[in-house]
Amino acid sequence: MAEAEQKQHKSYSPQGFAKLTPYMKAAHDAETKVLPEGWGEDFDMNSDHDAWVKFVKDAAEHFEKPLKQYPGPDAAFQGSPPYKKTVIAPIDGVLSCECTVFEPIEDAKKKFMFIYVHGGGMAFFDGKGAMEWGPCHYAMDGHIGASVHFTNSTEECYPRGLNDTISAIKYLVATYKDKVEGVCLHGESGGANLIIAAMMKMKQEEPDKDYIDCLYVECPYIYPTEAFPEETFATPEDIKGGALAEFAKEKPTHTDACVARSLLLAYKGPERDEVEFIQDKFAWPYFATEADLKNFPVTYVQDNECDLLKDIGLRFYRQLIGAGVKAYHAIEGGTFHASEKQDMLYFRMISKRRETLLNEVMKHKAEQAKAAAVAKEE
């Protein structure tokens, strides 16, 4: 009997950025061209702190320019917004940074609060304009959405941005928690760094205090990748290789190296020792221990398949599990760093995922409380 002919099948095992979907590939190609050709190539890496900060500010203008082409909610609705918007100025001794809150026009019976801390390496963006669509959509869906406008490192170095974030969380929760059934804190990239560090700090100071009900962490920038040479600080073995190697640029330019390093140095400030700063767990939560995380609320960690930071986010998730935290993890296939926000359908789907998470967390808490009450009566 003749042997069956073995049919050949197409391989679906691409490598590197070939894993991106066509839409995401176009978006990624556009993002790589944000900086003008040749820009920054003459920057001296031996420059002083002020020069590095100026470099970050100049780079920020280029990174922010594409986003400014899109209208924010206020511009889109032109005076007839389907939400109530409140801009809260800093309050001495109470709130150290500005916050913006979006609420539904008609009070909803069952509503949640979603507090958003934006990305940008703790140095770029301000969470305004087009970045307000997330909080705005929550208000349009009957919830409360809030944005934290922390101080970027180009204005004041660490720990100012972290302290602003903590201040904002405490203020927003104290002001709005009685109006909602649950609170979710979320952020991507540098914003994810800040919400993780803020939660560690708050739990260190008040271990039994639950300011929020769940944490939604996206592509966390919790280790300063590509920001220093190996002889300064060796990349830890558990993240060395893998995504860091697969998604590194084949031919990184001088400008690429300067951008990565400038984020570290601007956040560090002019005085701190670099190696000590790299290992400061509140600046770079990669260095947190399981003991630092054991009191965390339910946490969902979301990574992008084509991202240098993918393995770092997965490691953080495993740390949470090791610490006994109820945690979940997902890798968004075919996407690069935070790119799901560039696809409006994807963006809304993730927003609904957060809402579903918080809803189920609150239902679970209610069931636990009911069971405890019954047990006490028995």
Taking residues 364-378, report their average pLDDT: 88
Residue 301 pLDDT exceeds 60? yes
The residue that leads in pLDDT, 313 or 4, is 313
Taking residues 280-305, report their average pLDDT: 98
Taking residues 353-376, report their average pLDDT: 94
Mean pLDDT, rounded, of the chain: 96
pLDDT of residue 1: 47
> CA of 302: how far to CAs of 189, 213, 287, 330, 350, in Å?
10, 17, 19, 5, 10
Q: What is the pLDDT of residues 71-102, one digit of tens each?
A: 999 999 998 999 999 999 999 999 999 999 99
pLDDT tier, 3 (very low <50, low <70, confident <90, very high otherwise) = low
| Domains of the chain, CATH where assigned | 43-377 (3.40.50.1820)
pLDDT of residue 4: 64
Query: Which DSSP state fits 335?
Result: E
> CA of 296: how far to CAs of 14, 114, 271, 377, in Å?
37, 17, 32, 30
What is the pTM (predicted TM-score) of this model?
Answer: 0.96
pLDDT of residue 2: 54
Q: What is the pLDDT of residues 144-195, one digit of tens each?
A: 999 999 999 999 999 999 999 999 999 999 999 999 999 999 999 999 999 9
pLDDT tier, 109 (very low <50, low <70, confident <90, very high otherwise) = confident
Residue 6 pLDDT exceeds 80? no
Residue 310 pLDDT exceeds 90? yes
